[in-house]
Amino acid sequence: VLATSSNPNFPVMVWIHGGAFSFGSGNAFLYGPDYLVPEGVVLVTFNYRLGPLGFLSVGRDAPGNAGLKDQVLALKWVRDNIAAFGGNPKEVTIFGQSAGAVSVHMLMMSPLAKGLFHKAIAQSGSALNPWAMATNPKERAFRLGALMGCYTNDTEELLYYLRRASPQKIVDLASRTITQEDVKRSIGLPFVPSVENWTGEDASDEAPLISEDPLTIMKSGKYNNVPLIVGFNSHEAMLFLRRVHKDPNLLQNIDGDFQRLIPVDLEVKRDSEEGAQLARSMRKFYLNDEHITNSTVQNLMDLMSDVMFEHGIADMARLHAAHNGHDSTWLYRFAYDGALGIYKRILGIEWPGSCHGDELGYLFHFGVLNIRLDNSSLELQTMTKMTRMWTNFAKYSNPTPYGTNDAVVGLRWPCLIPNSMTDLPYLDVTNSMTARHNPDAERLRFWDRTYEKYNGPILEGRS
């Protein structure tokens, strides 16, 4: 809606939706502005290309990341036009969840997005998560071509065929490019972002979104350094394990091939004795050397939550704080299990805890749920505090800014300590909100030690 007052200049929050880079949209019936806009911000949502249309990559002529480049174009539109809608183009916060959070992280690392935003919030996703980046995008593109009837090893021939094929057929066949090996390696996303490091004859005329792997970029500190909120939910993997406990065969398959749970970004061969030894250590730590059964499936949930989300998110926060100092990075853990936990309600999940995506109901109005809250409910209190902190961050670059006495939030959210691996201040969102230190401390330490052993230290001169 075009601005009607004489000179409004509200901070802008640009939402990037999730959906495994394969589905979803930014539509208002999913992400209603009802909770955020009354706090004095302009909310922008948009769509971007998904699946193979957004992330297929073969080299120079199709370098990939088209969906992320759509996001850059959306941010340029905001820069050039948002003033007409009452927004301040110099106060833009990008925020997203899951694949949207990975997108936020990718934009932070991309020279294409430099200067287009000034703060960032990444909810339940990081480019350091093992599912976030493609390992062999060209191979998957040729696999898609073969499924469509184009049997070739020639890139030009493949692209000629795909550009004349039905877009709907391309989208419909995308999920069939996932192999049994992908599933065994816990990689269930067919088309995701990739590194554009083409050289020589394969060099693209198009400027790359990123040309190095995310960990290298984060360690260098050479990226768009903006204030950052990053966090995860207490039981992220609940969403993905909701059917496992009802399928004894699947539980048995995972239990019999525990090495499949080793993170794909660890520099250890899964089928080696070293891999077997690591798998035994994982089983001992998470399952106390027991088998995976209905009684231990929640321990498996912790393991998968840590591998798929929590450890990579913690490392993202640590590296960002190391390069940006105090008052640059805030970490949260969302564990509130309330009526606005949208995915648990929609999917009928009965396990306790907060699953992947459950925080969204406390930031956006989801018309599909049609829930009316009592004025004294914990859900309403949580929603009010969450939206206040998120919009405070958009306004002041701090979720609980100094020099204010915000009775709504009622606490100070501590920022991360630069160059510390052992002390992680965070906001714990449960039935109340509490400032704490070191979320899931023993579990994070297990993976800190494991990654340092196989991949080297994440921070030099750490404490």
Q: With contact defined as beta carbons under 8 Å apart, do 78 and 89 qualify?
A: yes
Q: What is the DSSP string of 345-389?
A: HHHT--SSS--TTGGGGGTSB-TTT-----TT-HHHHHHHHHHHH
Confirm whether 110 is a catalytic residue: no
Helices (H), 243-296: 248-256, 273-287
Q: Strand 42-45 and strand 228-233: pairing? A: unpaired
Q: Label residues 119-152 b or e (16+ Cβ within 10 Å = b).
A: bbbbbbbbbbbbbbbbeebbebbbbbbeebebee
Largest CA distance in the chain: 70
Among 98, 103, 194, 305, the one annotated catalytic: 98
Among 196, 236, 310, 359, the one annotated catalytic: 236
Residue 18 to residues 102, 135, 170, 192, 431, Cα–Cα distance (Å):
9, 20, 21, 12, 26
Confirm whether 98 is a catalytic residue: yes
CA distance 222 to 111: 10
Q: With contact defined as beta carbons under 8 Å apart, do 261 and 254 qualify?
A: yes
- Give the sign of the dihedral formed by CA 331, CA 337, CA 343, CA 344: positive
CA distance 249 to 246: 9
CA distance 347 to 119: 33
The alpha carbon of residue 227 and the mean position of all alpha carbons in its chain are separated, in whole angstroms, by 17
CA distance 284 to 287: 6
Active site positions, annotated: 98, 236
